[in-house]
Amino acid sequence: MVRYIVKRLFQGLPLLLVISITLFLLMMNIGDPIATMGGRTITRQSDRERLTRQLGLDKPISVQYLYWLIGNDWTKVDSDGDGIPDNYGTRHGILRGDFGTSLVTRKPVTELIGERIPNTLLLMVASEVVTVFFALLFGIYSALRQYSVMDNIMTALLFIAYSMPIFFVSLMSMYIFAVLFKKWGLPYLPTVGMFDPQVGKTPWQIFIHMILPVFSLSVTYFAAYSRYIRSTMLEVLSQDYVRTARSKGLPRRQVVYIHALKNAALPIVTVIGLDLPFLLGGAVVTERIFAWPGMGRLFLDHVSRSDLPVVMGILMLVATAVVVFQIITDIIYAWLDPRIRFD
């Protein structure tokens, strides 16, 4: 198993390398970072040149990529503009954990991302838990009552939920649970930020501020998973071994939750595991609408200011998460399926 994991990791590395090169090339045209740096306008030509040199932007793109990847502390760089390399560089490169320094805030990228990751993870984990819980509930219920009125109604509703763009769910839920509830004198939910600055960052504040973003992030995935779980359960319930279990006179509970669900769990776990890092995509929109201080908003803020180190850092983190989750999913699958576990 350990050998398998190591092998998979090594397979993932070239993939990440290809991704990083492609993205780096795309980054070269996302705008002039110096023009928007720190909100100040840099007008003096000499300042521009100095900054360009300091940031290494005067170098050819291949060299820039190399410095980004493995740093420049092994070679002398020209720091005073006389064309002669004088001092060793200070960057260690992303491979050694140095994501570089933000062009906008001048803070290390790892620090910027590190501040935001917990907030994003909070949203994602909460959404995933809510999504999976309700999807299992609805999916299994629907499958057990195939063709019933309830099943038909739920299928139609899930189809609508599945087609809902996240921003529309967000706006609708904000309007109903914040605006209308307030108007009707009902207890209403906050819509922006992570906590009320006047109250402070208490768990309760974070909780009530989470409700709407988590709801918005969950609706589409909930609908997709419910549909998937329903069809997987239906398929499993029609298998011969379920008929065998029933012919043994086992109670329905045992047939459904042990014989059927244990088999259905295999594809369900796979889909959920592979999808999990893609929730980050939804987080971009949700965090923007709800002004949630997470990685998605960090990405949007810095992409608009052409802050290459931050943007590249976030993208590589996301791509790595996808690779890692693929491996984790494989491991869980192998652990769940005796046909693989014992081979």
Site for another protein in 84-143 (CB under 8 A): none
Of 129 and 156, CB closest to another protein:
156
Find the helix or strand (DSSP H, E) in which 162 lies. Answer: helix 149-163
Q: How many residues bind another protein (CB under 8 A)?
A: 74
Instruction: State which of residues 54, 75, 87, 254 lies at the interface with another protein (CB under 8 A).
Output: 254
Minimum distance, C-beta of residue 215 to another protein, in the bound complex (Å): 16
φ, ψ for residue 12, nearest 5 deg: -70, -30
- The Cα 262–Cα 133 span in angstroms is 16
φ, ψ for residue 28, nearest 5 deg: -60, -20
Four-CA torsion 193, 196, 198, 201, nearest 10 degrees: -100
Minimum distance, C-beta of residue 133 to another protein, in the bound complex (Å): 22
Kindly give the interhelix angle for 308-336 and 295-303, rounded to the nearest 10 degrees.
150
**Is 172 an interacting residue with respect to another protein (CB under 8 A)?**
yes
Q: Which residues pair with 108 in a beta bridge?
A: 101
Q: Which residues pair with 88 in a beta bridge?
A: 76
**Is 62 an interacting residue with respect to another protein (CB under 8 A)?**
no
**Is 217 an interacting residue with respect to another protein (CB under 8 A)?**
no
- Please give the span between the terminal C-alpha atoms of the chain, in angstroms, as a whole number: 11
- The Cα 112–Cα 131 span in angstroms is 29
**Is 250 an interacting residue with respect to another protein (CB under 8 A)?**
yes
Of 42 and 224, CB closest to another protein:
224
**Is 289 an interacting residue with respect to another protein (CB under 8 A)?**
yes
Of 229 and 315, CB closest to another protein:
315
> Under rule CB under 8 A, which residues in 295-314 are in contact with another protein?
299-300, 303, 306, 311
> Under rule CB under 8 A, which residues in 22-61 are in contact with another protein?
22-23, 26-27, 29-31
Of 73 and 334, CB closest to another protein:
334
Four-CA torsion 275, 205, 187, 184, nearest 10 degrees: -80
Minimum distance, C-beta of residue 184 to another protein, in the bound complex (Å): 13
- The Cα 189–Cα 288 span in angstroms is 17
Minimum distance, C-beta of residue 278 to another protein, in the bound complex (Å): 5
Q: Give the binding range for another protein (CB under 8 A) out of 64-72, 96-104, 118-126, 283-291.
A: 283-291
Instruction: State which of residues 191, 216, 226, 329 lies at the interface with another protein (CB under 8 A).
Output: 191
Question: What are the b/e assignments for 35-50, b being 16+ CB within 10 Å?
Answer: ebbeeeeeeeeeeeee
> Under rule CB under 8 A, which residues in 230-249 are in contact with another protein?
238-241, 243-249
Supply 62's token pair: 């291949």
> Under rule CB under 8 A, which residues in 258-277 are in contact with another protein?
258-259, 262-263, 266, 277
**Is 162 an interacting residue with respect to another protein (CB under 8 A)?**
yes
- The Cα 300–Cα 286 span in angstroms is 12
